[in-house]
Amino acid sequence: MVDLSINCGGIKSPNPFWLASAPPSNSAYQNCKAFEAGWGGTVWKTIGDPVMNVCNRYGAIDYNGQKIVGLNNVELISDRPIETNLKEIAETKRLFPDRAVVASLMVESKREAWHDIVKRTIDTGADGIELNYGCPHGMSERGMGAAVGQVPEYCQMITEWVTEVSTIPVLVKLTPNVTNIQLPARAARAANADGVSLINTINSIMGVDLDTMRIQPSVASKSSHGGFAGPSVKPIALHMVSQVAVDPEVNLPISGIGGISTWRDALEFILLGASSVQVCTAVMHYGFRIVEDLIEGMTNWMESKGFSSLDEVRGKAVKQITDFGNFDLLHKTVARIDQDKCIHCNLCYVACEDGAHQCIDLTQVNGHTKTEVREADCVGCSLCALVCPVEDCISMVRVDDESQSKTWNELMADFEREGKPLSWENLAEFQKKHGIVIH
C-alpha cells in the first residue's frame, strides 16, 4: 500500500497536492469543490488590504500548438472583504477537517496590522498561514509582496511579527525575483518560520502584438510587468527549490510551486526536497479533476519503484547537486547514431555544424544522406541527441577509463602543489595527457 500523506512544517494533508494561492482558491465554493475532487490542501487566495482588480488581467504564451505554455497575470490579491474570506475559511475547514486549509496573508508593514490578521486567521481553525512575500506586481508598488521578499531584513522582521503571535504553522512564500533565493529563505528560518513556499511568479512582459503594437495583457491600452507562471517556469522553480534544499542554514520544509502540471512534475519537486506541491496554472487550464491523474500517477510510480511513503522519496535527488568544480573532467562521452532508426532529417548535422563543434559528417549513400559522428572530434556536448526527433536514435556513450577521474578542484590543487600557474599551456598539457579533444 502507498501512503501519500504528508506533513509540511506541521501542516498535514492526505496527499501532497495543494491548490496554490490564486484564482482557483478564491472562495469556499471553489475550495470545497477541489476537496471533493481529491485535492489534499489549499492555500487560500491571499487576503489583506483592499484592492480592486482590472479587466484583461491575463496574457499567455502558446507554443508549437500547445496553449498556455506560460501565463502572465496582473491580478492582485483577493478583492473580497477580509471578513468574507475568514468566514469561508472557517466554513471550509469545518466541512473538510482532514484537508489542509492554509490562509495566505498580506497586509501593510505594521506590527499591529499583522498581529490583528494573524489572530483573526487562527480563530477560523485554519491549519496554517502562508505569508505572501512574492507578488511582483501591484502590491509591491504598495510596499508589500515582492518588495518584502526581495529584502531579507524585511522578510525576517515581518515574519517575526507573525511568529511571535501565531499558534499555527507559518510558511513564508518566497519571490524568485532575487539574485540569491537562499538569503530570504535564511531570513525566514531566523524568524522561526515553520517552512517556505517557492516560487511565486516571475517578473515578466509577455510580448507585443505586432498588429496593434499593444503589450499583452492590455488594460485600456496600457500594460505593465506581471507575474509569469505555467509549465515554462518549472526549470527555474526546480533550481530555486534545490538551492533552498541544499542550504544547511535553511533546513526548513518546502512547499514547491512553479509549473506543476503532471504527477511527474510533482515528483521532481519532491525528489528535490519539497514536502507538498502547489498547483495553479494547470487548474486554471484544465480544472480541478486533474488531481485524479496526479494521485493515480504518483501512486503507480511509487508502487513500481517499491516505495510506500513520500518520506522515502523526498530529497533523493538532492545529493547530486554540486558545483562545477566537482565535475569529473575525465568523464568522456561521444554521440553514436543508430542508422537503422535515422530518418535522414539532418537536424543533428545542422545543429553540430552551426551550433556546436563540427564533428558530424554528411555523406550521400544510395540516394539519401547519411550522418556519421567523428568520434575522435566529438566533445560529448549532446546537442545532436537533444535535437533528434527520433527517440533513442542518437545515444551518448561513455568511452573514458572509468578507473580514472579528476575534478577541476583537484586539478587546481595539483597545479598548486606542483607550483604550476593556471594557464592555457598547463591546461593543454593536462588535456593532451588524457586525450581530451581541444577545439
Whether residues 380 and 271 share a domain: the answer is no
Q: Looking at the domain assignment, is residue 142 inside a domain?
A: yes
Contact 196, 240 (CB under 8 A): no
Whether residues 177 and 42 share a domain: the answer is yes
The CATH number of the domain holding residue 108 is: 3.20.20.70
Whether residues 345 and 296 share a domain: the answer is no
Whether residues 303 and 328 share a domain: the answer is no
Segments of the chain scoring below 70 in pLDDT: 50, 52-53, 136-146, 439
Whether residues 371 and 251 share a domain: the answer is no
Whether residues 263 and 349 share a domain: the answer is no
Domain span including residue 351 = 322-439
Q: Which pLDDT score, from 0 to 100, does residue 367 have?
A: 82
Whether residues 81 and 16 share a domain: the answer is yes
Cα 176 to Cα 204: distance, rounded to the nearest angstrom:
12
| Beta strands 226-229; 66-73: pairing state | antiparallel
Is 359 in the active site? no
Using alpha carbons only, give the angle 51, 91, 58 rounded to the nearest 5 degrees.
Answer: 35
Q: Looking at the domain assignment, is residue 363 inside a domain?
A: yes
Contact 101, 83 (CB under 8 A): no
Q: Using a cut of 0.85, tell me whether the model's pTM lies above it.
A: yes
Q: Looking at the domain assignment, is residue 426 inside a domain?
A: yes
Q: Number of folded domains in the chain?
A: 2
Q: Looking at the domain assignment, is residue 187 inside a domain?
A: yes
Count of CA atoms in the C-beta half-sphere (13 A) of 290: 22
Residue whose cell numbers read 498556455: 68
Q: Which pLDDT score, from 0 to 100, does residue 140 have?
A: 60
Cα 439 to Cα 422: distance, rounded to the nearest angstrom:
19
Whether residues 306 and 336 share a domain: the answer is no
Of 259, 294, 319, the last residue of a domain is 319
Whether residues 281 and 382 share a domain: the answer is no
Q: Which pLDDT score, from 0 to 100, does residue 303 have?
A: 98
- For 392, counting Cβ atoms within 10 Å of its Cβ (0-12 exposed, 13-18 middle, 19+ buried), the class is exposed
Whether residues 196 and 300 share a domain: the answer is yes
Cell triple for residue 305? 519503484
Q: Which pLDDT score, from 0 to 100, does residue 73 have?
A: 80
DSSP labels for 357-399? ---EEEEEETTEEEEEE-TTT-----HHHHH-SSTTSEEEEE-
Q: Which pLDDT score, from 0 to 100, does residue 145 have?
A: 66
Cα 165 to Cα 163: distance, rounded to the nearest angstrom:
5
The CATH number of the domain holding residue 413 is: 3.30.70.20
Whether residues 227 and 86 share a domain: the answer is yes
Whether residues 338 and 279 share a domain: the answer is no
Of 300, 319, 338, the last residue of a domain is 319
Q: Looking at the domain assignment, is residue 1 inside a domain?
A: no
Q: How many Cβ atoms are within 10 Å of 380's Cβ, its own excluded?
A: 18
Of 293, 319, 345, the last residue of a domain is 319
The conformation of residue 282, written as its DSSP 8-state character, comes to: H
Q: Looking at the domain assignment, is residue 204 inside a domain?
A: yes
**Residue of 8, 135, 388, 393 marked active site:** 135
Residue type, 71: L
Residues near 331 by beta carbon (within 8 Å), at least 6 away in sequence: 398, 400, 405
